[in-house]
Amino acid sequence: MKNPVIKINNIHFRYNNQTADDVLHIADLQVYEGEHLFIQGASGSGKTSLLNLITGINQPYKGSVQVLGQSLQNLSSMQCDQFRVDFLGIIFQQFNLLPFLSVLENVQLPCWFSAKRRSLAGNSSSEIKQTAMRLLTELSLSDTLFNQPANTLSVGQQQRIAVARALIGQPKIIIADEPTSSLDTDNRERFLELLFLEADKQKSTVVFVSHDSYIAPYFSRVIDLSQINLAG
């Protein structure tokens, strides 16, 4: 059995105040190094709330979340931000690309905020740029688009940029929040193939959440959030 990179123990989470009902109550969840984990759940089931706990954006009011051996509750807000950019590559549902930056600049963005990822992407600005170009090429994006503003590209192209940005600097864990929701069947399959290929090359664990049960067979392990969430 490989080592767990994420350990969740008896977490309770709710929004706003202590009198509201829990959104999440998960007794135990472990994610193991190198696996491709699919967490399936309907809209409003708490998928994004769970990712926000794993990434340290929010904190449970009970229980513990450990990521790569670090208890996130023991970190300040600023330390959580730095931990997130150092060790986690995040693919957002809406991609969250910066429209005023080029494709290449968007991909290199994590290296501007993380010395750790910068050192793994290259020893100089030119090497980091080369790493970004390599990732984009391997994700089948034409080099004629590299200097274009990111918001001028198609949804499928922007998705590949978001994946390259998540992968650059070899983060230990890739977190994906419904990134295939706007893609047709063929493009979903191609996207997953590319994501897994690149993640496996750098030995990154993949945690992917979606309501789309169609893609479940592509993953090494599948969890239905309704089966582990005891809230409600």
Domains and CATH numbers, the chain: 4-227 (3.40.50.300)
Q: What's the pTM?
A: 0.93
- 202 close to 173: Cβ distance less than 8 angstroms: no
**pLDDT at 157 exceeding the cut of 80:** yes
Which of 81, 220, 115, 97 minimizes the C-alpha distance to 166?
97
pLDDT at 194 (0 to 100): 87
- The proportion of the chain whose per-residue pLDDT surpasses 70, expressed as a percent, equals 97
Mean pLDDT value across residues 204-215: 94
The answer to whether the beta carbons of residues 4 and 30 sit under 8 Å apart is yes
pLDDT higher at 192 or 20: 192
pLDDT tens figures, 167-180: 999 999 999 998 87
β-strand pairing of 62-67 with 70-71: antiparallel
